[in-house]
């Protein structure tokens, strides 16, 4: 938590003018470049909405009335992820504020810059259990980067400037500003505070890496024969796309990404091994299990990435680059920790390479890349084709073909993992709740991305269960003509829940089937004045997606897919990344522990045997493609 002790008001040279706290807020938001706000009014925040009315009339800002405050938070989050700017949302006191909490937690865990503004009961009523009073400051303390209660209107401009600075610098995150109703109405001599004019002695994020650690990292990079770049969302936040590619190509290092890191590196690049982790590619998970150097760039060693932590990259030395010192060494102690802005640190590292003339050993990683390519060929991601039903993967692959440059949002579950596996995303074009795994995120996040980038194609990939969490935001799309295309991967289940119940709970499908009570999605869309479509036949899939994309307005496409499809590969809980299930052939680990029959006498033998103990014949082992 950043210190929020009141400091002297650092302002521009503009002479003071008598204004209200609400005016100071709206003027400060304008000065910080805010053009769009997502929110829902209510009693305690009405003075701010009254001033918002004037701001909209002047053309300073556009407000989008969501149908639920959670939608406002997710829309601001999607806006921020798509642009890198700070997203802004409004909510009133009490239930309005608490309805924002899930969206705040989503942004917090994924390090998304947001400023959340809530109304509060008047100052004299705080602590009296007044109508619609909640301590939103206290409720959100664990899930914000910083928070404020504005006790005096004259502090408003300073607080807004601090909030935007804190939200967008260092490790980004959400900041809450709680404004009592009477503060919004209070008049005072207003002096604006310009962006960046802040005084926060306790907040000085480290930007540059330690030169000694940079040299130590270069030493390990030059020695490594089986290195791997493991890149997370911190590299996206830092905009380190070019630097990651330059480093990878210079040392010929394969690159794997986390779910949050998708888009940092072109997955069609020969050095890409795709996403790693629970539903990552087999070759990424094999690579991390066999590498001798792991370079973690803006990643936090999340449990969905590491699997069994003591087996994660167990043969590797670790370089960990992150702007948040609390993350470095939190789950895995690195040999070389480097605290700093990811892009800046990589630029330092590349500059040091140039200055030193240090060259990688020619062909040093070629055997390693050849081994990875064998895994890539032996264990590809599979798109099933069934005679009578569509597979979910087919729908997602076709989407990727027809809209390769779109911005994609998702909800959470199997469809999210398939979307991560089968579409190659550009920078910032993958928008998904990773850390919190928030169902209901996809539609409002797509709404925010489309508002931010009206000329870009924005597609939400959802599930039939996730979509129903925030389906009311179809009303927002309809009211404002927000041209978002939504594709529901409809299998009639809580798909990932069903998969886990099948795998780990004896096929006891408790409360996971959604067919009963499911709405007719076409009629639902049409009720909101939105085009609804359905597809269940492979022969119609290509045309259906083309029609959806060509339509000038929001569309809801219900893609009815195979009900029992599971998402593979999968690292089961408590297993190492090398111990995946659902591979197209036995993994190297499985091959090394299974049995084979002797060609001469037919006796069963362990795969570890070279000769049959029964007859002495040499055993014919299947290729393990670089087994461990």
How confident is the model at residue 625, as a pLDDT? Answer: 33
Count of C-beta atoms within a 10 Å radius of residue 539:
7
3-state helix, strand, coil in the chain (%, to 5): 40, 20, 45
Provide the pLDDT confidence category of residue 10 given band limits of 50, 70 and 90: very low
Q: Which helix (H) or strand (E) holds 116?
A: strand 114-120
DSSP state letters, 233-301: HHHHHHT-HHHHHHHHHHHT--EEE-TTTTTSS-TTSTTEEEE-STTS-HHHHHHHHH-SEEEEES---
Running DSSP on this structure, what letter comes out for residue 85?
Answer: S
Please tell me the distance from the alpha carbon of residue 555 to that of residue 483, in angstroms, as a whole number: 8
How confident is the model at residue 610, as a pLDDT? Answer: 64
Q: Residues 87, 29: contact at Cβ < 8 Å?
A: no
Active site residue 521: no
Q: To the nearest 10°, report the CA torsion of 446, 452, 458, 459.
A: 0
Q: Is the pLDDT of residue 3 over 50?
A: no
Query: 414-422 and 495-504 helices cross at what angle (nearest 10)?
Result: 100
Q: Residues 149, 83: contact at Cβ < 8 Å?
A: no
For 432, phi then psi, to 5°, come to -155, 145
Helices and strands (H, E) in the chain, number of each type: 24, 24
Across 33-55, average pLDDT:
98
Provide the pLDDT confidence category of residue 606 given band limits of 50, 70 and 90: low
pTM more than 0.75:
yes
For the stretch 132-173, pLDDT in tens is 999 999 999 999 999 999 999 999 999 999 999 999 999 999
Cα distances (Å, whole numbers) of residue 353 to 238, 240, 242, 251: 21, 17, 16, 11
How confident is the model at residue 603, as a pLDDT? Answer: 65
CB-count exposure of residue 197 (10 Å: 0-12, 13-18, 19+) = middle
How confident is the model at residue 480, as a pLDDT? Answer: 98
Q: Is the pLDDT of residue 40 over 50?
A: yes
| Catalytic residue of the set 85, 145, 181, 450 | 181
| CB contact burial 206-228 (16+ within 10 A = b; e otherwise) | beebbeebbebbbebbeebebbb
Provide the pLDDT confidence category of residue 586 given band limits of 50, 70 and 90: confident
Please tell me the distance from the alpha carbon of residue 31 to that of residue 128, in angstroms, as a whole number: 36
Across 85-103, average pLDDT:
98
Q: Is the pLDDT of residue 89 over 50?
A: yes
* Closest among 579, 477, 582, 468 to 531, alpha carbons compared: 477
Active site residue 114: no
Active site residue 181: yes
Please tell me the distance from the alpha carbon of residue 24 to that of residue 573, in angstroms, as a whole number: 51
End-to-end CA distance of the chain: 45
Q: Residues 293, 224: contact at Cβ < 8 Å?
A: yes
Q: Residues 147, 163: contact at Cβ < 8 Å?
A: no
Active site residue 69: yes
Unique residue bearing structure tokens 């962006």? 195
Running DSSP on this structure, what letter comes out for residue 534?
Answer: E
For the stretch 115-130, pLDDT in tens is 999 999 999 999 999 9
For the stretch 325-366, pLDDT in tens is 999 999 999 999 999 999 999 999 999 999 988 888 899 999
Residue 353 structure tokens: 């390479």
Mean pLDDT of the residues in the chain: 94
| Catalytic residue of the set 51, 69, 290, 473 | 69
How confident is the model at residue 619, as a pLDDT? Answer: 72
For the stretch 228-255, pLDDT in tens is 999 999 999 999 999 999 999 999 999 9
For the stretch 408-431, pLDDT in tens is 999 999 999 999 999 999 999 999
Q: Is the pLDDT of residue 267 over 70?
A: yes
Please tell me the distance from the alpha carbon of residue 296 to that of residue 298, in angstroms, as a whole number: 6
| Catalytic residue of the set 7, 62, 132, 245 | 132
Q: Which helix (H) or strand (E) holds 558?
A: strand 555-560
Residues 6+ apart with CB under 8 A from 494: 413, 463, 465, 511, 512, 513, 514
Provide the pLDDT confidence category of residue 7 given band limits of 50, 70 and 90: very low
| Catalytic residue of the set 1, 131, 223, 604 | 131
Please tell me the distance from the alpha carbon of residue 63 to that of residue 35, in angstroms, as a whole number: 9
How confident is the model at residue 358, as a pLDDT? Answer: 83
Across 280-295, average pLDDT:
98
Q: Residues 266, 272: contact at Cβ < 8 Å?
A: yes
How confident is the model at residue 410, as a pLDDT? Answer: 98
How confident is the model at residue 624, as a pLDDT? Answer: 35
Q: What is the bridge-based pairing of β-strands 187-190 and 174-180?
A: unpaired
Q: Is the pLDDT of residue 38 over 70?
A: yes
Please tell me the distance from the alpha carbon of residue 306 to that of residue 298, in angstroms, as a whole number: 15
């Amino acid at each position: 938590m950043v210190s929020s002790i009141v400091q002297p008001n650092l302002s521009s040279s503009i002479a003071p003018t008598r204004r209200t706290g609400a005016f100071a807020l709206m003027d400060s938001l304008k000065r910080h470049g805010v053009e769009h706000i997502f929110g829902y009014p209510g009693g305690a925040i009405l003075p701010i909405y009254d001033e918002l009315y004037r701001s909209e009339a002047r053309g300073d800002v556009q407000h989008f009335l969501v149908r639920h405050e959670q939608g406002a938070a997710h829309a601001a989050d999607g806006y921020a992820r798509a642009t890198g700017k700070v997203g802004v949302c409004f909510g009133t006191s009490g239930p309005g504020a608490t309805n924002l909490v899930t969206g705040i937690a989503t942004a917090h865990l994924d390090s998304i810059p947001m400023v959340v503004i809530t109304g509060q009961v008047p100052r004299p009523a705080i602590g009296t259990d007044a109508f619609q009073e909640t301590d939103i400051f206290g409720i959100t303390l664990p899930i914000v980067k910083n928070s404020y209660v504005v006790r005096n209107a004259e502090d408003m401009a300073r607080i807004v400037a601090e909030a935007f600075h804190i939200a967008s610098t260092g490790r980004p995150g959400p900041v809450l500003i709680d404004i009592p109703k009477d503060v919004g109405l209070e008049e005072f001599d207003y002096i604006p505070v310009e962006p960046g004019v802040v005084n926060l002695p306790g907040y000085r994020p480290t930007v540059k890496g330690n030169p000694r650690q940079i040299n130590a990292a270069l030493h390990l990079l030059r020695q490594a024969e089986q290195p791997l770049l493991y890149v997370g969302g911190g590299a996206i936040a830092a905009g380190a796309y070019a630097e990651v590619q330059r480093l990878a190509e210079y040392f010929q290092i394969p690159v794997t990404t986390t779910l949050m890191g998708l888009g940092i590196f072109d997955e069609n690049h020969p050095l890409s091994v795709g996403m790693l982790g629970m539903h990552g590619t087999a070759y990424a998970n094999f690579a991390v299990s066999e590498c001798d150097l792991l370079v973690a760039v803006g990643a936090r060693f999340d449990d969905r990435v590491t699997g069994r932590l003591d087996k994660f990259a167990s043969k590797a030395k670790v370089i960990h680059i992150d702007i948040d010192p609390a993350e470095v060494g939190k789950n895995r102690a690195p040999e070389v920790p480097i605290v700093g802005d990811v892009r800046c640190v990589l630029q330092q590292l590349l500059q040091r390479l140039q200055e030193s003339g240090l060259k990688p050993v020619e062909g040093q990683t070629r055997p390693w890349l050849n081994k990875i390519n064998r895994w890539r060929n032996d264990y590809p991601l599979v798109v099933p084709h069934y005679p009578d039903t569509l597979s979910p993967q087919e729908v997602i692959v076709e989407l990727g073909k027809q809209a390769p440059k779109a911005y994609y949002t998702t909800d959470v579950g199997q469809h999210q993992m398939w979307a991560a596996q089968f579409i190659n995303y550009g920078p910032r074009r993958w928008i998904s709740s990773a850390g919190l795994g928030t169902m209901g995120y996809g539609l409002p996040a797509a709404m925010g991305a489309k508002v931010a980038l009206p000329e870009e194609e924005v597609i939400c990939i959802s599930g039939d269960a996730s979509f129903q969490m925030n389906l009311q935001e179809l009303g927002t799309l309809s009211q404002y003509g927000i041209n978002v295309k939504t594709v529901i991967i409809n299998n009639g289940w809580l798909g990932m829940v069903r998969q886990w119940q099948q795998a780990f709970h004896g096929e006891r499908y408790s409360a996971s089937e959604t067919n009963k009570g499911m709405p007719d999605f076409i009629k639902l869309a049409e009720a909101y004045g939105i085009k609804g479509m359905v597809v269940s036949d492979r022969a119609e899939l290509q045309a259906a997606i083309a029609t959806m994309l060509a339509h000038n307005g929001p569309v809801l496409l219900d893609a009815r897919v195979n009900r029992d499809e599971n998402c593979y590969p999968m690292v089961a809980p408590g297993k190492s990344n090398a111990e995946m299930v659902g591979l197209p052939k036995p993994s190297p680990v499985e091959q090394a522990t299974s049995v084979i029959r002797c060609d001469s006498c037919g006796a069963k033998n362990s795969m570890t045997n070279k000769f049959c103990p029964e007859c002495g014949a040499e055993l014919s082992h299947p290729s393990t493609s670089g087994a461990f």
